[in-house]
């Protein structure tokens, strides 16, 4: 069983490396980070679809069955995701592109997935955490791509930012709190699994503070720009330079 799991993770890692290499070859005029974020975007969409299917259709429901034995589909998805996180953590360390908080997030994710695979249980809640963690990922990558292409300061950029903040707050913080509560009060999960859940939720709050600070600064900037435009329009009307109908 252990050998089979290792082979699945190794195949996943090789797959993500191959995809990254392909993106680098197809986007020679772009940076390495561009290709890496394409891989991240692909993983985000794929993991959202798979984890949503597991949580909402295949089951079991993570809010009522935390600590339950892993299903074969859960194992496959966790191995797929573990290979990705190993790839991305290695990329981030090599290129020194991320801070300590993101590295801590990736490390906790890797340890949490390994723990669920070794125990043969708690894949239900780990899969739910995967869904909550990745649901905002495509928006985060889209935001970066818009900035790189010079289209971030637009209506599309504002929509992406709004959806990202709303989803992060509602799902990762709001729904995440409910999932953590169910995990803590259930007698089934191991105590160290619960500790890992608390650690992941604490990391989410660290991200949340940064996101709220960004959202506040952007809102103030937008408001001041709107006030400035309104003031200029009133001044033009008062001086008679603005045509009115």
pLDDT in tens, 117-173: 999 999 999 999 999 999 999 999 999 999 999 998 888 989 999 999 999 999 999
Q: Where are the alpha helices (DSSP H) in the chain?
A: 2-26, 32-53, 72-95, 100-119, 123-134, 137-148, 155-167, 176-185, 191-239
> Residues 157, 162, 168, 171: is their CA dihedral positive or negative?
negative
Are the CB atoms for 88 and 36 separated by under 8 Å? Answer: yes
pLDDT category of residue 245 using cuts at 50, 70 and 90: very low
Pairwise CA distance, residues 36 & 18, whole Å: 11
pLDDT at 241: 52
Pairwise CA distance, residues 157 & 154, whole Å: 5
pLDDT digits (tens, 9 = 90+) for 43-71: 999 999 999 999 999 989 999 999 999 99
Are the CB atoms for 101 and 203 separated by under 8 Å? Answer: yes
> Residues 34, 107, 12, 58: is their CA dihedral positive or negative?
negative
Are the CB atoms for 207 and 168 separated by under 8 Å? Answer: yes
pLDDT digits (tens, 9 = 90+) for 71-120: 999 999 999 999 999 999 999 999 998 889 999 999 999 999 999 999 99
């Amino acid at each position: 069983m252990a050998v089979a799991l290792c082979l699945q993770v190794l195949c996943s890692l090789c797959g993500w490396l191959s995809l990254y290499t392909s993106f680098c070859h197809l986007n020679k005029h772009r940076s390495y980070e561009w290709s890496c974020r394409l891989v991240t975007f692909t993983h985000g969409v794929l993991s959202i679809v798979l984890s949503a299917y597991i949580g909402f259709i295949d089951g079991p429901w993570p809010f009522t069955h935390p600590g339950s034995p892993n299903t074969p589909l859960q194992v496959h998805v966790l191995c797929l995701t573990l290979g990705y996180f190993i790839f991305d953590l290695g990329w981030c360390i090599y290129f020194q592109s991320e801070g300590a908080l993101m590295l801590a997030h990736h490390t906790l994710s890797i340890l949490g997935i390994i723990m669920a695979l070794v125990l043969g249980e708690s894949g239900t809640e780990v899969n739910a955490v995967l869904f909550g963690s990745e649901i905002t990922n495509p928006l985060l990558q889209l935001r970066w791509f818009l900035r790189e292409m010079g289209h971030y300061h637009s209506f599309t950029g504002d929509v992406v930012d709004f959806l990202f903040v709303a989803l992060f707050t509602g799902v990762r913080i709001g729904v995440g709190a409910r999932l953590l509560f169910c995990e803590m009060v259930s007698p089934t999960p191991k105590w160290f699994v619960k500790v890992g859940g608390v650690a992941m939720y604490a990391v989410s709050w660290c991200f949340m503070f940064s996101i709220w600070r960004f959202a506040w600064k952007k809102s103030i900037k937008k408001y001041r720009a709107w006030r400035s435009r309104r003031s200029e329009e009133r001044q033009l009307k008062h001086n008679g330079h603005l045509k009115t109908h």
